[in-house]
Chains A and B, each alone.
Chain A
Amino acid sequence: MKKSISKIILVVVAIAFIASLALYGFEPFKLTGIKEGGIKQGLDLVGGTSIVYDIVDDEKKSFSEEEVNLVIEMLRDRIDRRGYTEATVSKYSDSQILVEIPGIDDPDMAAKEIGTTAELTFRKGGADGEVVITGTDVKKATAVFDDPSGMGGVAQWFIELEFNNSARKAFSEATAELAGTGNPISIMLDEDVISSPIVNTRIDSTTCIIEGDFEAEDAQELAELISAGKLPFKLDIAQVSHVGPTLGDRALETSLLAAVIGIILVMIFMIVVYRIPGVVASIALCGYVALIAFALVLFKVNLTLPGIAGIILTIGMAVDANVVIYERIKEELAIGKTVKAAVKSGFNRAIIAVIDSNVTTIIAALVLYFKGAGTVKGFGVTLGLGVVVSMITAVFVSRFLLKAFVDMNISNPWLFGVSKKKASVEDVTGGDR
């Protein structure tokens, strides 16, 4: 009895702990809680900037899936480096990419910076000189704050590049040719000259620095752009717009309220129908909500309306697993088994059905995540998370709890949802109702 009660308390405390983690976050693990805005809301809920880029190439009009995906990955990388982790990058059409960033200040600037090709070139002489080295020959680029001459002068921001061997050779030959002529070597990013130093002597080194009156932020951004590499194609901005929340400002609020009331109704329903197992299901459902909130915060899921729908749907599924199991327990009780035996065999028999039905949903979620774009992908994420979490709570948590209740020596089948009549009339086939 005592052991059972402490088991139940343990589960409740664990749920409360997870819920508080989800709500308030955990600083050492860089977990931002819901209270501090830890759940990222999608464009349809908070609004933001939406940018459509046309992929442009001189030679072709259409692009293969791999090519588009490569561009998407590189853009994703750039956007993440800029800290817009809540942004989404997706394929819009065969030659267009959609970037959506919830809530930023200067959409036009962001559109330009994100979409730049970022091709680094070293040219002999001026901006139209012969190309000596391109960005692909650069192994690494870092922003450094130091004295570039290395002789104890004034510290400033500059970029340090690390060349591969062929670049080292090309650079050495070019500097030898230019040395003493008074001609510069121009370092360019796309169309812009970043720096064009005059070459005094031949330089034979695997490292090279770019100076140019950089602010800390500029230097870091430039280094990151170069490191991330150039895009294989040019991106033209087709459309930039700042969009308000398309769903209206009360969409999230009302959905959450609805979810809370819905969950409470479900709990009442379960307790009325199943009694003790209903209480267990209600605790497990709280556990589900806490875990899913925690998962949303942990994986920084971008929550959109379809995503919310996915979660509400999985609430239904989380309860479903319980219903399947409890109905089975009722049947086992009806054929005259003891409560303990009925709970055991009920779980074992129902678990196969629960697993089979959830696996099909997981298959769907995985396909939607890997094959879908935009909202479809987001839906896949929450659906998949929801199903996995609901399996955990509905199967493991509720089995653990139910066993604890059973160990308290409750032997009245009525408390397990069997109606009074049924509790006395045994139906050997366990079937007809």
Chain B
Amino acid sequence: MNKFSFTKNKKIFFIFTAVCIVLGIAVCIFKGFNWDVDFAGGAQAKLDIGKKPESAEMKIVEQIAKDNVDKGVSITVTPIGDSTGDYILIKANKMSTEQYDKIVSVATDKFGEGVVGDELQIVSPSVSSGLRKSAIIATVIAVVLMLAYIAIRFKLLSAVAAVACLIHDIFFVFVAYSVFDIPVNTNFIAVVLTILGYSINATIIIFDRVRENNKLMGKSVDFEEKVDRSIKQTLLRSLFTTITTLLTIGMVYILGVTSIKDFALPLIVGIIVGLYSSVCLSGNLWCVLNKLFKKK
């Protein structure tokens, strides 16, 4: 590890990252996303199974629904009730009337004659557009303010590098959603925000070290050399912190129910990608930006 230079090998990192980004974009385009009905609209219908649905029945209905819609369509089943009785609400981002009729008939075989299927409704995503909009606005403002803070505490160029890494991490969280077919629902917003808050930390710890080394070592040492030292000095910390965070979130993934797994998996991806970007990219980006804008 002593001989290996992070900054001298930056070409390798940049090429590797570029290839991953291209692959990521390709996956996002060709595989697409599994949009949850809340997020993108779709179809929903109430199913009355003739009694108050308990979790066992919910599981059965979820399985029936999954078996009868197109492959890769995300299904959510929720027990609901209103003044007219108790139902199971089946939501899917794509479900035809025929498919729904099939679900109702299979459910009738399973639960008996009491099963009544309500008419299939097409639901628009407009209901969540407000939430989505406010989330995007909040994220943008948060990123801009973080950029400003880093620019004040460090240097503007380092802030640009840090935010570029942040965008990199969030991009790969998107890719994870596509690759693992995770439903994009309102929790998606929370995942992105979590990575936003977490991944910037690692970069700042490294930049803090660069700042300190800059003062300590003086002008005689090349900036790239200082960055390389800083990355190495903080490497154990970067690694250990990632390990401890993964220990907790990993347990959540292992023990959690499906909805929790869907939440933990992209977080795990984001945390690992965050480790890579802060160690291998952030410092190098700062070096490159420095060269570009500070020609002497």
Contacts and interface: CB of A to CB of B under 8 A. Distances in A.
Shortest beta-carbon contacts, A-B, top 8: A244-B79, A316-B245, A262-B248, A306-B190, A353-B208, A93-B130, A371-B138, A262-B251
Given A93-B127, A249-B55, A305-B187, A361 B256 contact: no
5 contacts: A243-B89, A263-B248, A306-B190, A320-B237, A367-B142
A368 B142 contact: yes
Nearest to B259: A247
A251 B260 contact: yes
A361 B197 contact: yes
Contacts of B254: 258
B290 interface: no
Interface string A91-104: 11110100000000
A352 interface: yes
A220 B190 CA distance: 40
A360 B82 contact: no
Interface stretch (A76-84, A177-185, A205-213, A307-315): A307-315
A246 interface: yes
Nearest to A330: B236
A319 B257 CA distance: 26
B127 A316 contact: no
- Chain B interface mostly helix, strand, loop or mixed? helix
Contacts of B257: 247-248, 250-251, 254
Contact of A92 (B89, B127, B258): B127
B130 A94 contact: yes
A356 interface: yes
A86 interface: no
B91 to A, nearest CB: 10
B237 A364 contact: no
Given A258-B255, A306-B190, A359-B149, A316 B248 contact: yes
Given A108-B82, A254-B255, A431-B229, A316 B55 contact: no
B244 A360 contact: no
Interface string B225-254: 000010011111100110111011111101
B190 A257 contact: no
Nearest to B134: A373
A219 to B, nearest CB: 27
A374 interface: yes
B130 A243 contact: no
B130 A255 contact: no
A94 B55 CA distance: 36
B110 to A, nearest CB: 19
Nearest to B76: A246
Interface stretch (A18-26, A113-121, A264-272): A264-272
A327 interface: yes
B175 interface: no
Given A259-B248, A375-B190, A376-B135, 16 more contacts: A91-B134, A241-B81, A248-B258, A254-B260, A262-B247, A263-B248, A265-B251, A309-B263, A317-B198, A319-B241, A360-B197, A371-B138, A372-B138, A373-B135, A379-B193, A432-B232
Nearest to B203: A357
Nearest to B81: A242
B82 A241 contact: yes
A364 B163 CA distance: 13
B36 to A, nearest CB: 11
Given A108-B82, A327-B237, A371-B134, A309 B198 contact: no
Contacts, number: 240
Nearest to A354: B205
Interface string B136-169: 0110011001100110010000000000000000
A398 B260 CA distance: 32
A290 interface: no
Contact of B141 (A306, A323, A349, A371): A371
A360 B204 contact: yes
Nearest to B256: A254
A37 interface: no
Nearest to A316: B245
B113 interface: no
Given A306-B187, A368-B193, A259 B251 contact: yes
Nearest to B213: A431
A343 B89 CA distance: 58
A83 to B, nearest CB: 22
A367 B145 contact: yes
Interface in A253-296: 254-255, 257-259, 261-263, 265-266, 269-270, 273
Contacts of A430: 233
A101 to B, nearest CB: 14
Contact of A433 (B55, B89, B235, B244): B235
Contacts of B247: 262, 265-266, 269
B97 interface: no
Contact of A364 (B196, B250, B251): B196
A91 B55 CA distance: 31
A383 B251 CA distance: 20
B169 to A, nearest CB: 13
B34 to A, nearest CB: 17
Interface in A337-355: 349, 352-353
A391 to B, nearest CB: 12
A418 interface: no
B83 to A, nearest CB: 5
Contacts of B205: 324, 353, 357
